[in-house]
Structure 1
Amino acid sequence: MFTKLLITNQRPRLSFRPFFAALVVFANSFYLSAQVAAPSKSSFEARLLNIEAPSNEPFRYSTTLTNASSQTLIYNLDAQLPQGWQISYRVDGSLVTSIQMQPGKTQEIGIEISCPITAKPDKYKIPLKATSPIDNFQLELEAVVKGSYALEMTTPTGRLSDEVVSGSNKEIVLQLKNTGTLPLNTLELGSQLPTRWEATFTPATIKQLEAGKSVDVKVNLKVPDKTIAGDYAAKFDVKSANSTTDLSFRIIVKTSLLSGWIGLLVIFAAIGLIYYLIRKYGRR
C-alpha cells in the first residue's frame, strides 16, 4: 500500500526540447524570408559586361538595379557613348530614361546599344550611371565590334529613272558603295529586263571594293526596235560572296521623231485618200 502511494504522488517531468526545436525552425524561416524580401545592399549589376557583335547588329545587355534603402527613390540612367552611338533602356517592354523604385525592390533593365555601321572593329568601353539622391552607381560595359559586310547601289545623282528612244541605246551610270567595315571581293553585276532588252556592264566584275569606297559602273542599255512607248521597269543587281543588293530603275520609252513624222504622213495620206474618194464617187 505504501509503495502504490509513492508511485501515485510522483509528478511527470515536462520536456522543453520540442518547444525549442520549433522555435529554432520558426526563427530560421523568418530570417530566410526576411533575407529574400529585403535585399541588404543597393546595387547596379550586369549579367554580362562584355558582348561581341557586328556593327550592323545591336549589343543587348541585361542589368539589375536594386534599391535596398527604406525610401522610394528615382534613379536616372545615363551613359557616355562614342560619337554616333545610340542607347536605349527598357523596363517591362517600355522605353525609359529614369525609373522610380520602391524600398527593397529589384528591377530588371534591358539595355540596347547600337553603333554606326562604319564603326571600326575594336573593343569599346561604355560607362553607365544610375543615380538617385542617395546612390551613385557606375557600371562599365564593353562592346566588341566585329567587321561587317554591307553594299549599296544607287546612281551618282540619286535619280532612278531615265528616257530612251525606241530602237536605240542608252548609257546609265550606277554607283556601288561598300558601306561595311570589311572589303568585298569579286562583285558581279546582272540585270532583269523586259523581253529582248539587253544590258552590258563596264566593268562587269569588280575584283575588290574596300570599306567606305565607291565605284561607278556604266550600263549600256539597248532597247529593241518597235518597242511600244511607255514606262518599263529594269532591275540591276550586284552579288558577292558576303553581300548582295539590287536597284529598281524606271525606263521611259519614247518613239523617235522620224517615226512620228512618218505616222503623221500616213494619217494625212489616209485623209487625202478619203477626200479623193468622196469627191470622185460622192456625187453618184
Structure 2
Amino acid sequence: MMSKKLLPNNWRKRIVGALLLLTTISAAFPAHAQQANVQKGPSGLTAKLINIESATNEPFRFSVSLHNGTSSQQLYELKADLPVGWQASYRVEGSQVTSVNLEAGKTQEIAVEITASSAASARKYLIPFKAVSATQPLSLQLEAVVKGSYGSTISTPSGRLSEEVTSGAHKEIELEVRNTGTLPLNDLEVTAQLPSGWEASFEPSKIAKLEGGKKTIVKASLKVPDKTIAGDYGATFSLSGNNANGQASFRIFVKTSILSGWIGILVILMAVAAVYVLIRKYGRR
C-alpha cells in the first residue's frame, strides 16, 4: 500500500491562516462588493414612455431615467423647452427639484409633469427635456399629444339664479347643462343641496353623453314643505360626472299662499268680533 504524503504542520497552519484572512476581509469590506453593482455605460436620458396623450386640463406625466456614466459626481440642471403658456415640474422621490446631484455610475428616476396651456390646440407637441452638467449636456425628446379639452357649466337658459315659490307648493326650474370643452362628457348627473325638509327630482335623472360644445336642459322639480316660513333661502345645484363638474347657487324666496293669507285675515276678524261681542255683553254691567 502506498502511504499518503502529509504536508508539514507549518504549511498547513499557513494555508488555514490565509483562508481565515480572506474570509475576514470579505466580511469587513462589503462596500467593495457593492461597487461591482454600479451600472456601467455612457451617460444618458431615457424614458419608459416618450409619447403621452392627454387633455389640456390634465397633466402629462413622464418617468425619466438619468444615468451618470462619468467617473465623477455630476450636478445636472433640469429644464424643458416648452410652448408659450405651458408649465413643467420635476420630482425626485416625491420632492420637487430643479437639479439632481448624481454620483458616478449611478442612475436616478425623475418624474416629469408637464401642463399644457388651456389655449393649446389639439395636436402633437415635441418637448426637448434636458439634464445639463458642467461637463455634459444630455437631452431627450418627449411628445405631448393634446387630444382636446374638458369643460362644463350648469346654469339656467336666461342666466337668472333666483326664483319665487309658495310654501307647500312645487316649483319647476329649468337648468342648462353645457359642455364648454371639445371632448365628450359621459355619465353626467345633477344633484341638489337644499334646506332641511325640501325635496328635488330631476328629468332626466342622468345624461349618458354630451358632445363637445353642446348643451341640454334638465328640469328640476322643487318641493317646499307646508308651513315653511316666508323669506329667502339658498339652494345649490351641482353637476358631476366623468371629467365634469360645476355648481349653480340659487336664491329662492318663499312666500305664503293666498289661502293662508285669507285664513289669517279671517282669524283676526273673528278675534275682533269676539272682543266686540264680549264688550257689548258685559260692558253695560
TM-score range, shorter chain: 0.5 to 0.7
* 1:99 Cα offset (Å): 2.0
Aligned to 1:61: 62
CA distance in 2, matches of 1:128, 1:196: 55
SS in 2 for 1:266: helix
1:100 aligns with 2:101: yes
Aligned to 1:141: 142
CA distance in 1, matches of 2:73, 2:104: 5
CA distance in 2, matches of 1:262, 1:140: 80
SS in 2 for 1:133: coil
Percent identical:
46
1:122 aligns with 2:159: no
Aligned to 2:78: 77
CA distance in 1, matches of 2:222, 2:183: 35
CA distance in 1, matches of 2:157, 2:243: 21
* 1:105 Cα offset (Å): 2.9
Q: For residues 1-284 of structure 1, what are the structure 2 equivalents within 5 Å?
A: 36-37=37-38, 39-55=40-56, 57-115=58-116, 119-147=120-148, 150-155=151-156, 162-166=163-167, 172=173, 174-182=175-183, 211=212, 213=213, 215=215, 217=217, 228-229=228-229, 231=233, 233=235, 235=237, 247=247, 250=250, 251-255=252-256, 259-260=260-261, 263-264=264-265, 266-267=267-268, 269-271=270-272, 273-274=274-275, 276-277=277-278, 280-281=281-282
* 1:257 Cα offset (Å): 7.3
Q: Which amino acid aligns with 1:229?
A: I
* 1:103 Cα offset (Å): 3.5
Q: For the Cα contact (< 8 Å) 2:166–2:224, is it kept in 1?
A: no
Q: For the Cα contact (< 8 Å) 1:232–1:253, is it kept in 2?
A: no
Q: For the Cα contact (< 8 Å) 1:125–1:140, is it kept in 2?
A: yes
CA distance in 2, matches of 1:52, 1:243: 15
Q: Which amino acid aligns with 2:60?
A: F
* 1:72 Cα offset (Å): 3.8
Counterparts in 2 of 1:131 and 1:155: CA distance versus 1, 3 Å: farther
Question: TM-score w.r.t. structure 1 length?
Answer: 0.60
Counterparts in 2 of 1:71 and 1:260: CA distance versus 1, 3 Å: farther
1:62-101: CA deviations, max 9, x gaps?
A: 1112233454433221112234433221101111122222
Q: For the Cα contact (< 8 Å) 2:198–2:225, is it kept in 1?
A: no
Q: Which amino acid aligns with 2:228?
A: I
Counterparts in 2 of 1:198 and 1:138: CA distance versus 1, 3 Å: closer
Q: For the Cα contact (< 8 Å) 1:117–1:181, is it kept in 2?
A: no
173-182 vs 83-92, greater mean Cα deviation: 173-182
1:128-147: CA deviations, max 9, x gaps?
A: 12122222222110122335
Counterparts in 2 of 1:234 and 1:55: CA distance versus 1, 3 Å: closer
CA distance in 2, matches of 1:156, 1:36: 68
Counterparts in 2 of 1:234 and 1:263: CA distance versus 1, 3 Å: farther
SS in 2 for 1:139: strand
Counterparts in 2 of 1:252 and 1:200: CA distance versus 1, 3 Å: farther
SS in 2 for 1:37: coil
104-113 vs 164-173, greater mean Cα deviation: 164-173
CA distance in 2, matches of 1:197, 1:73: 64
CA distance in 2, matches of 1:220, 1:33: 69
Aligned to 2:7: none
CA distance in 1, matches of 2:119, 2:219: 29
CA distance in 2, matches of 1:236, 1:34: 59
CA distance in 2, matches of 1:86, 1:155: 35
* 1:110 Cα offset (Å): 1.3
Q: For the Cα contact (< 8 Å) 1:192–1:235, is it kept in 2?
A: yes
